Amino acid sequence: DDDDDDDDDAAESPSSSSSTVTTADVRAEDGVLHIIDGVLLPATVTVSGLLVDLHCWSLDTFPIAVDGSNLALEPETHTVECMRDSCDGGFGVLALQGDGTYDLAYAFADGNDAIEAFLQSTTLVDDVRIQVRGYPTNRLIGESDDQEDDTQKFNELAAVNVRFTRETISHTGFLVDLADCWERDGHVCASDGADVAASPQDHAIAACLVGDDCRYGILRDAGCGYDLAFRFDDRGNALVAALLSPLLQQHKVTNFVVTATGERDTFGTIYVDSLKEDTRFQAHEGYLVDLWCLPSAVSVLSK
């Protein structure tokens, strides 16, 4: 979902959980307890807008940021370079107001390191549009007991997941199923016994389609073995099934590399727009030989 339309920038959709009291008025040492049949989760909100560093938002020159951009009127001109240099104070999301200006909807209680990592890797120059999900803590960041403290106070959002909606990335790596392989002890597949952290090329395509909990991800080369680069969203999971089934009919068994393209978030999810097999990168094991000793131009002998 692209959030370039200003009409969507200030949208919030709260949701919460509910439970039933199963046992009331249980006396405890320091009071009375009510036992419920579940875990109560705080209401969550989703806000679309623009990323801002709190350092620039708090300057005495407000609404003018360090890079000269007007954060209240034209926050899309606030540069990535400026936010990189001003990241120590944390980040927040600016939402469009009814009068056409922008205001700080929430400051983030967590997730700031992942946002900083994004700013270090992105190719964007400015206009960092985001969709944020989290829950309001009903606390103010910067709040203190000092009545004379004139530090700015910001509404706090916790369990923050930021989706970056203006940049599409492509990542190529080995496909892995999560429930049956990656999330198991040692990353060893329950279906085919492959150690997908060490030798993902041995993981069978047929094993990726086993079970009801078919969730997938894509690996990255960690130098010594492999690590999980991204988890797929629901659309990506559906695309995997559509991609794998025809390959089984073509008798392709293992060594399956894909390229996933889409937006990413700070929880490590890629929102897959397209998924395709990539035959350029394959892993092979064999004996290394010099071509002088072989009559044919073969550099790797398969076991």
Question: What are the tens digits of pLDDT across the range 105-145?
Answer: 999 999 999 999 999 999 999 999 999 999 999 888 764 44
pLDDT score recorded for residue 35: 75
What number is the average pLDDT over the span 89-103? 96
pLDDT digits (tens, 9 = 90+) for 22-32: 676 677 777 77
pLDDT interval class at 147 (50, 70, 90)? very low
Q: CA 176 to CA 208: how far, in whole Å?
A: 7
Distances in whole angstroms, Cα of residue 108 to Cα of each of 90, 137, 269? 7, 10, 19
Which comes out higher in pLDDT, residue 12 or 121?
121
pLDDT interval class at 247 (50, 70, 90)? confident
Instruction: Determine contact, residues 152/58, Cβ cutoff 8 Å.
Output: yes
Q: For residue 272, which of 241, 227, 226, 295 has the smallest C-alpha distance? A: 241
pLDDT score recorded for residue 284: 55
pLDDT interval class at 283 (50, 70, 90)? low
Sole residue written with tokens 């001003």: 86
Distances in whole angstroms, Cα of residue 87 to Cα of each of 9, 51, 266, 280, 285? 23, 11, 16, 38, 45
E strands of the chain, at which residues?
21-28, 31-36, 45-53, 91-96, 102-108, 129-141, 154-177, 216-221, 226-232, 257-265, 269-277, 286-288, 300-302
Q: Under 8 Å CB-to-CB from 40, ≥6 apart: which residues?
A: 17, 18, 19
- φ, ψ of residue 239 in degrees (nearest 5): -70, -30
pLDDT digits (tens, 9 = 90+) for 187-211: 999 888 999 999 999 998 888 887 7
In three-state secondary structure terms, 113 is helix
Strand partners, 288: 300
Residue 8 scores a pLDDT above 60: no
What is the chain's alpha carbon radius of gyration, rounded to the nearest angstrom?
A: 25
Q: Under 8 Å CB-to-CB from 99, ≥6 apart: which residues?
A: none
pLDDT digits (tens, 9 = 90+) for 160-180: 999 999 999 999 999 999 999
What number is the average pLDDT over the span 1-8? 46
Q: CA 189 to CA 208: how far, in whole Å?
A: 9
pLDDT score recorded for residue 145: 46
Sole residue written with tokens 């680069």: 229
Q: CA 208 to CA 255: how far, in whole Å?
A: 12
Residue 51 scores a pLDDT above 80: yes
